[in-house]
Each structure stands twice: as C-alpha cells, then as structure tokens.
Amino acid sequence: MAPTARSSLALAEAAPRIDPEAIAFDVDGVIADTMRLFLEIAAEEYGIRGIRYEDITTYNVEDCLDLPGQVIEGLLRRLIYGGYRGDLRPLPGAPEVVRRIAGRAGSVLFVTARPISGPVESFLRRVFPDGAGGFELVATGSFAAKTEILKRRGITHFVEDRLETCFAVDREGIRPVVFAQPWNRQPHPFLEVQSWREIEELIQW
C-alpha cells in the first residue's frame, strides 16, 4: 500500500495526546465509508463495475476515474441528496471510538462540507440510535467554512481526509489529522492515522 504507513505510528507516539473535548471529525471518508457507497451506486444504478476502492486516487473523482462527467455528476448528486438503495456505513471501529469520546467529552462534533445534512444526519442516527451520549452535526456547505466553525468551538484537532482542507485548517492554527485514504497519498507534514484504533491512541483518556 501507500508509503505513509512509515511515519503514522512514530508520529502518533511523539504527538501530545488530544483532549477529547477538542477533537472534531469530518464525515465522508472519516466516519462514513462514502466511497464504498459511491462504488455501490455506480455498480447497481449505472452498471459500472470493476472500479476498485484503491482506484480512487484523487479527491475529485473525475480526475482519476475514466467516466463521463454526467455520470459522475449524477453519482455525486445521489450521494449528497440520498434516495439510493444501499446504506452509508461507518468505517471500522468508528462507532465504538465516537461513543467513547462522547462518553468522556459529553458530545462529539462532526463538520461536513455537504450542503445539506439530511442523509448524513440519518446515517448518524442509524449508527447511534441512542444518541451515543451526544453528537452534533454541522453542514457548512463549503470546505472553507469548516475552519470558522472549528475555531468557534475551541477545536484544536480535526480529523479529515481531504488534504486541501487539512492545509486550510492548519493555516488557521487547527492541527489536522489526516485519515489515510487512497485519495490523500500525496506528501504532507501532518499527523496521520490509518484507522479509528489509531485515533483512539491519540486521545488523552
């Protein structure tokens, strides 16, 4: 796999532990296995098979997949506005770790750049039918608006899979934690995790 596995553990060991009240999370590609659903919708509704998860090597999928723009647009619209047959599912370990953070911090903050929160809100309610001890979802409608929310909430660390957003929050003094995905394998200077277990390791319990 990617060369980044090199440093993630070393970095994690060297990094200061994170206050559970001061960490927040992106949704797509961090707690939600959004690309898996993207591939399911492509296969089931468009008959597009043979694309592997690892083939998605850029965040803007049109840059790495050889599909007509209209098809990609349709797929993304489907993802954002819902109405697909499949289900958005959590990435392995995410529900347990979110629950543990909520138990310690009282609430967990999710910040998505999606324009509407609906499908993501129902995803979170499905994963945490009991509320998991508290979570809050903010849909900003833009990548740029994420930083402002994080600053206002006193967040020091933000787990994110889109490198450009990581650089943007870093410029504003919030430490990004890159959640490793095939589409963020470019070099970066940030703390990186490969899994929710590694996020758990970073928290000051």
| 182 part of the interface to Mg ion, by CB under 5 A | no
For residue 161, the minimal CB distance to Mg ion (Å) is 4
For Mg ion, which stretch binds (CB under 5 A), given 21-29, 45-53, 84-92, 99-107?
Answer: 21-29
Question: What number of chain residues touch Mg ion (CB under 5 A)?
Answer: 4
Sole residue written with tokens 């723009």: 69
With CB under 5 A as the contact rule, the residue among 18, 23, 24, 26 that binds Mg ion is: 26
**Given the complex with Mg ion, which of 80 and 104 has the nearer CB atom?**
80
For residue 112, the minimal CB distance to Mg ion (Å) is 7
Sign of the dihedral defined by the CA atoms of residues 162, 147, 99, 39, in that order: negative
Q: Give the C-alpha separation, 11 to 27, whole Å.
A: 23
| 33 part of the interface to Mg ion, by CB under 5 A | no
Interaction residues for Mg ion, span 149-178 (CB under 5 A): 161
With CB under 5 A as the contact rule, the residue among 8, 24, 29, 90 that binds Mg ion is: 29
For residue 90, the minimal CB distance to Mg ion (Å) is 14
Residue 205 C-alpha from the chain's centroid: 22
Q: Give the C-alpha separation, 101 to 164, whole Å.
A: 26
**Given the complex with Mg ion, which of 21 and 33 has the nearer CB atom?**
33
For residue 205, the minimal CB distance to Mg ion (Å) is 25
**Given the complex with Mg ion, which of 80 and 133 has the nearer CB atom?**
80
Q: Give the C-alpha separation, 59 to 56, whole Å.
A: 7
For residue 13, the minimal CB distance to Mg ion (Å) is 26
Q: What is the DSSP letter of 179?
A: E
| 21 part of the interface to Mg ion, by CB under 5 A | no
Measured CA to CA in angstroms, residue 157 lies from 2, 94, 114, 142, 172 at distances of 24, 17, 20, 19, 11
**Strand arrangement, sheet containing 108-112:** 135-139, 108-112, 23-25, 157-160, 175-179, 191-193
For residue 130, the minimal CB distance to Mg ion (Å) is 25
CB 123 within 8 A of CB 32: yes
With CB under 5 A as the contact rule, the residue among 12, 23, 28, 42 that binds Mg ion is: 28
Which spans of this chain sit near Mg ion (rule: CB under 5 A)?
26, 28-29, 161
